[in-house]
Structure 1
Amino acid sequence: MPDIGDAAKRLLLGRPVRSDRLAHTLLSKRIALPIFASDALSSVAYAPDEILLTLAIAGVAATTVSPWVGLAVAFVMGTVIVSYRQLVHAYPSGGGNFEVATVNLGAKAGTTVASALLVDYVLTVAVSISSGAQYAASAIPAVRGHEVPLAVGLVILLTLANLRGVRESGNAFAAPVYLYMLAIGVTAIIGFVRYAMGSLPMAASSALTVVPSPGFDQGLAGVAGTFLVLRAFASGSSALTGVEAIANGVPAFRKPKAQNAATTLALLGIISASFVISILVLARATGLRYVEDPARQLLKNGVPVGDTYVQHPVIGQLTETIFRGFPGATGATVAVSIVTGIILVLAANTAFNGFPVLGSILARDGYLPRQLHTRGDRLAFSNGILALAAAAIALIVVFDAQVTRLIQLYIVGVFVSFTLSQLGMVRHWTRRLRTPADEQEHRQMRRSRITNAAGFLLTATVLLVVLVTKFVHGAWIAILAMAVVFILMQSIHRHYNSVREELALGDDAEAARALPSRVHAIVLVSHLHRPTMRAIAYARASRPQVLEAVTVGVDPDDVAALQSEWESLNLPVSLKVLDSPFREITRPILTYVRSIRRESPRDLVVVYIPEYVVGHWWEQLLHNQSALRLKGRLLFTPGVVVASVPWQLASSEGQTGLEDHVRGTVPRGL
């Protein structure tokens, strides 16, 4: 059965990749652009829709300001792009907003940024996939009513593609993203040429009348109108999502990493801003109508169009209008709709690259379970990919794959991270200005600080607008989710810190020198701490004929540090390092143990495994995972005894389950 499972895994994901092949997975700008920019580029498919939909609340006249709202969004995007280009040069390690906030503003600010980004990555997948499912439903009538299962299936397909590795998913997704850019670019160019020549047709929906919502009979006049424009701007700011993924993904670029990431950022900003403004200008020129409830808000000859009216997305209406009268116009419209639907699905790939990398960094620093830090056998952060997929599927099911409901939760997190990271960069340059440097370098630092200060003020203003205009429409759910993730990460961090302090070496190094040896034994070592010392002492007490400590070499730096510490303590046990080119723990140990059995079939091999004893079920999820897998395999190996050497953590006190029994059976008075 394991062979069948392994074969199925290889069929879906491919063969394992050696650790020394990591450099071959790095991305060129040509591949990095579709991988990291697909989220921001895909927002072109729904950010203009949300702007027009919001402004339509005040009637058709209000939609005439949509290009100006788009211009404001583009201005914010440009400022953020310039600021992030400086960020990737200053912090190219891949920590992005989390690292900037942690280093310059403190650990809690960093955790706030991380919680905001994690929630926003999940929402990115849910919104993008749901939007793609809706595009499919508008193009294929048979899909209507089945958007949720379609969206869930698409998430599963993306998960499998990303589990195969970053480079493989990038190669697969590059062509559709470039086709999408070509389709939108050609559509916009033809639209502007026809507009300049006076031959641009009016949209089919231009003949319809938009009914203003109660309280907006006077259009955008007054405080309510201003509030509505700000709300439209907040919805349109979803076009900025995905920018932070490049800052988090700098290590995935080829050298020079920071320069290539900065260039990709610039390309992303120029293309995305141009597309958003072009669509809004052409929508105004063609008189396009787009509302939240077309059956009641749109009138034809003074009568509501009713539930039979099908409202297509803005890009669908634009392509039908712009290509009208051309040979093959229907085919061109369908082609643009298809590539748009595909890019909306692939936009989730940005989150599938950003979330696992950020999760790995947080796990490394002790804010998330450490299982998220390790790469899978395809050099992808498999556990992070699976966690993201599960959370996104849950959101899609709960919100019924409706973009209008999900979009209200969107972009709060990304602007929280934007704002704190820009403030962190201001602190960064202020600190750097205190260090000795020539005048030219100081001038550059001062210019950079001004840029980041402008970015902070602008993103903080947008964040305030988003919170005020979207809070009651669902943004409070995103804020609540961020708070829950923040508290969870802080709790995990405190737990890991307390365990580290509890396991730290004191005077226990002498415990390894206690007794002579008589039996053949292998002590498994991952770190040099108290549980390791206890396991060595127990192994020596059994007097093995051969005694050696064994560790698996997954990370060269960790192995070198362990060997150095081992030699400095002068322990009377040799340390053997098993090579693991595919970063596996279980297989190298099994192979080594079985080789001993083959050489000496009459020998008894005793494998000592240090194991934590915890008091709460949730702590078990954070510890002993590798030990459980290894014990399960070793128990089926003939001639091998597995000895678990327990180390009771503080939380296990009073958790034996015998206390109440003893109190109930011992006579009173004894």
Structure 2
Amino acid sequence: MNSESAVTINLASLKRLLIGRPLKSTELGEQKLTKTKALAILSSDALSSVAYGPEQILLVLMTIGMAAFWYSIPIGIGVLILLLALILSYRQIIFAYPHGGGAYVVSKENLGLFPGLVAGGSLLVDYILTVAVSVSAGTDAITSAFPSLHEHTVIIAVAFVVFITILNLRGVTESASILAYPVYLFVLALFILIGVGLYNVVTGKLSPDLHAPVGTPIAGISLFLLLRAFASGSSALTGVEAISNAIPNFKDPAPNNAVKTLMAMGTLLAVLFSGIVYLVYYYGIAPGPEVTVLSQLAEQVFGRNLMYFFVQGTTALILILAANTGYSAFPLLAVNLAKDKFIPRMFTVRGDRLGYSNGIIFLGVLSIVLIIAFKGKTEHLIPLYAVGVFIPFTLAQTGMIVKWVREKPQGWMLKLFINATGALISFIVTCMFFLTKFNQVWPVLVFLPLIIIWFYRIRKHYDAVGEQLSLATCEPALPVEGNVFILPVSGITHVVENSINYARSLDAGQIIAVYVPFEREDEERFEQKWKKWMPEIRLVTLHSPYRSIIQPLSKFIDSVQRKASQSNYNVTVIVPQFIPKKGWHNILHNQTSLLMRAHLLYRKDVIVTTVPFHLKK
């Protein structure tokens, strides 16, 4: 066994260790999700956002002063109204489009191709940001509990992305089985936190001086600032659309199971978000530079004991594992776009574990790039993240409005009202992000048009390829009368002999050996040796005073090709190549054959064939 085979076997063994054994296509049904597992894997993004959503509200209100924190209560109620509208809207989308696709499919079918691509492009970017934001926020939770780790934030975040990527490559069911425990532990931890916190409030253990009473007049408050805080708090609703994109991942009946999961997620999100918002206000907690609001709340409620670390630990876990929502939804959205020929077809291919592994790997790599670029700073990523999801929210709801008006099914007026409410609020939130955080969200106005241009160029390419390959539209292929074989040679060796024997075995055509010497003496010497060794094979020598092999060879191939095309002859360049026994031996030899193939690959009407000769020692 040579070293290359050993390396291949070792890589295959490592792949099996990390990812697991390949699954048969018939096992696809076993990879579908139950409602319990789906709630964990698809709701983790939405549920985890309660760890930073309330904090985003306070960061805006803090510009006026802590006395303005009581406004977080009515703002929180506004966020809950938006949540209700979105949940009811996406419930309708799931039943209307049971094969998944979410905002992309809804927008494309009801508003047109361009709005569909805007929604699809926004969601693709949003799922990348989902991973980056979730992992960054989870790392923040860890460093809040252990401040000494602050300087290693980026390394920790990248390590978690690699771990989650490998976990998802193992398959949907396996990753869901592992992720279910942290998600439900987080929900349990927050219920305990909210329960104990409310108990302290009810029993009067807290001083009323910790917070300003609701209704306290605040100087400097404005509608614009309140809308800005509302838009920031709405970041807690990111991930709500993931279930509508991932319907194909559910066990049958998929739409019914998806809707039940969506309603359960909405209920949990509403309870956790409202509880955290109220307690943070009542305890008078303000955002800190290196300590999260949730960490401060847990410390105030429990003290820095086991329960505090339980809350912080489960928060860190769900924030990190919330990235899995992106890993579940991104590949399925990519499949829909790839089927419509707007992104590479490789995204439609299932891997060894029946998941769309190309999408998973692509998502992981780009998320790592974002984390490194933003140095793991969550607050810089959240505005981009939120605006990236509210654009599809708005388009999806608007698309459903058009659908109900056009089709007018039974009860369409109520459905229209629900979607119109969701569309209006989502549009207001989107506008507020652009108005109040333009310096943070302006990249959307750059990368989104670039992505859409990329979509159209890929579609144009696929259409052109299809047109040229179609037998119905292409000109008939010309008959081949014969072949001209051009054989570059560097010496009289077994490698050259092996290649000549291969050309002879094809039993049709003329063989021309081509030698490119750098010195005249070498040219004469080689011609004499060749006449003695293989006189029946024509030899052409091309002196190269500038020591280039590729350039004179290319010119000769062009001249032969022009003459051959007049007689309907094929030109085939046979590249002899010896293969060392050990892989590392390659670095000891000039890779002329590799450069030659790379240069000739894109030459029109020239066939390139490599004839390997394997060395034994």
TM-score range, shorter chain: 0.7 to 0.9
Query: Residue type matched to 1:137 in 2?
Result: T
TM-score w.r.t. the length of structure 1 is 0.68
Name the residue aligned to 1:489. 455
CA distance in 2, matches of 1:396, 1:501: 41
CA distance in 2, matches of 1:381, 1:202: 54
The Cα of 1:511 is off from its aligned counterpart by 7.0
Q: Is the 8 A contact 1:166 1:380 kept in 2?
A: yes
Name the residue aligned to 2:399. 424
- 1:459 is the counterpart of 2:426: yes
TM-align CA RMSD:
2.6
Query: Residue type matched to 2:385 in 1?
Result: Y
Query: Residue type matched to 1:28 in 2?
Result: T
CA distance in 2, matches of 1:655, 1:74: 65
The Cα of 1:220 is off from its aligned counterpart by 5.2
- 1:234 is the counterpart of 2:260: no
CA distance in 2, matches of 1:410, 1:362: 21
CA distance in 1, matches of 2:167, 2:208: 42
Q: Is the 8 A contact 1:99 1:110 kept in 2?
A: yes
Q: 1:63 aligns with which of 55, 69, 73?
A: 69
The Cα of 1:228 is off from its aligned counterpart by 2.2
CA distance in 1, matches of 2:101, 2:227: 32
CA distance in 1, matches of 2:185, 2:367: 26
CA distance in 2, matches of 1:175, 1:323: 23
Name the residue aligned to 2:257. 260
Query: Residue type matched to 2:435 in 1?
Result: V
- 1:314 is the counterpart of 2:311: no
Q: Percent identity between the aligned chains?
A: 40
Q: 2:186 aligns with which of 180, 188, 192?
A: 180
Structure 1 runs of 4+ off > 4 angstroms?
507-512, 652-656
Q: Is the 8 A contact 2:89 2:419 kept in 1?
A: yes
- 1:378 is the counterpart of 2:353: yes
Query: Residue type matched to 1:241 in 2?
Result: T
Q: Is the 8 A contact 2:135 2:320 kept in 1?
A: yes
Q: Is the 8 A contact 1:220 1:228 kept in 2?
A: no
Q: 2:95 aligns with which of 89, 93, 100?
A: 89
Query: Residue type matched to 1:221 in 2?
Result: G
CA distance in 1, matches of 2:43, 2:190: 15
Q: Is the 8 A contact 2:127 2:329 kept in 1?
A: yes
The Cα of 1:483 is off from its aligned counterpart by 2.0
The Cα of 1:227 is off from its aligned counterpart by 2.3
The Cα of 1:654 is off from its aligned counterpart by 8.0
The Cα of 1:57 is off from its aligned counterpart by 1.1
Q: Is the 8 A contact 2:37 2:177 kept in 1?
A: yes
Q: Is the 8 A contact 1:27 1:254 kept in 2?
A: yes
- 1:368 is the counterpart of 2:334: no
Change (3 A) 1:363 1:460: same
The Cα of 1:140 is off from its aligned counterpart by 1.9
Q: Is the 8 A contact 2:250 2:258 kept in 1?
A: yes
- 1:221 is the counterpart of 2:220: yes
- 1:334 is the counterpart of 2:309: yes
Query: Residue type matched to 1:409 in 2?
Result: L
Bigger radius of gyration: 2
CA distance in 1, matches of 2:407, 2:54: 40
Name the residue aligned to 1:444. 411
CA distance in 2, matches of 1:69, 1:507: 61
Change (3 A) 1:263 1:7: same
Q: Is the 8 A contact 1:83 1:451 kept in 2?
A: yes
Name the residue aligned to 2:572. none
- 1:282 is the counterpart of 2:279: yes
Query: Residue type matched to 1:285 in 2?
Result: Y
CA distance in 1, matches of 2:77, 2:323: 25
- 1:13 is the counterpart of 2:12: no
The Cα of 1:478 is off from its aligned counterpart by 2.8
- 1:158-173 map, 5 Å: 158-173=164-179
Q: 1:189 aligns with which of 167, 190, 195?
A: 195
- 1:125-140 map, 5 Å: 125-140=131-146
Change (3 A) 1:193 1:501: same
Q: Is the 8 A contact 2:100 2:245 kept in 1?
A: yes
Query: Residue type matched to 1:401 in 2?
Result: G
Name the residue aligned to 1:575. none
1:46-105: per-residue Cα shift (whole Å, max 9, x none)?
011111122111111111111111111111011011000000000011111111111111
The Cα of 1:3 is off from its aligned counterpart by 0.9
Q: Is the 8 A contact 2:383 2:433 kept in 1?
A: no
Query: Residue type matched to 1:364 in 2?
Result: K
Name the residue aligned to 2:441. 475
TM-score w.r.t. the length of structure 2 is 0.74
1:170-191: per-residue Cα shift (whole Å, max 9, x none)?
0000000000001101111121
CA distance in 2, matches of 1:478, 1:39: 21
Q: Is the 8 A contact 1:362 1:368 kept in 2?
A: yes
CA distance in 2, matches of 1:655, 1:54: 65
Query: Residue type matched to 2:236 in 1?
Result: A
CA distance in 1, matches of 2:331, 2:219: 43
- 1:144 is the counterpart of 2:150: yes
Q: Is the 8 A contact 1:137 1:143 kept in 2?
A: yes
CA distance in 1, matches of 2:72, 2:219: 12
- 1:352 is the counterpart of 2:327: yes
Q: Is the 8 A contact 2:144 2:295 kept in 1?
A: no
Q: Is the 8 A contact 1:201 1:322 kept in 2?
A: no
Name the residue aligned to 1:73. 79
CA distance in 1, matches of 2:176, 2:207: 38
Q: Is the 8 A contact 2:141 2:295 kept in 1?
A: no
Query: Residue type matched to 1:494 in 2?
Result: K
The Cα of 1:369 is off from its aligned counterpart by 0.7
The Cα of 1:366 is off from its aligned counterpart by 0.5
The Cα of 1:507 is off from its aligned counterpart by 7.1
- 1:557-572 map, 5 Å: none
Change (3 A) 1:484 1:511: closer
Q: 2:52 aligns with which of 46, 52, 55?
A: 46
Name the residue aligned to 1:502. 468
CA distance in 2, matches of 1:114, 1:408: 19
Q: 2:318 aligns with which of 317, 335, 343?
A: 343
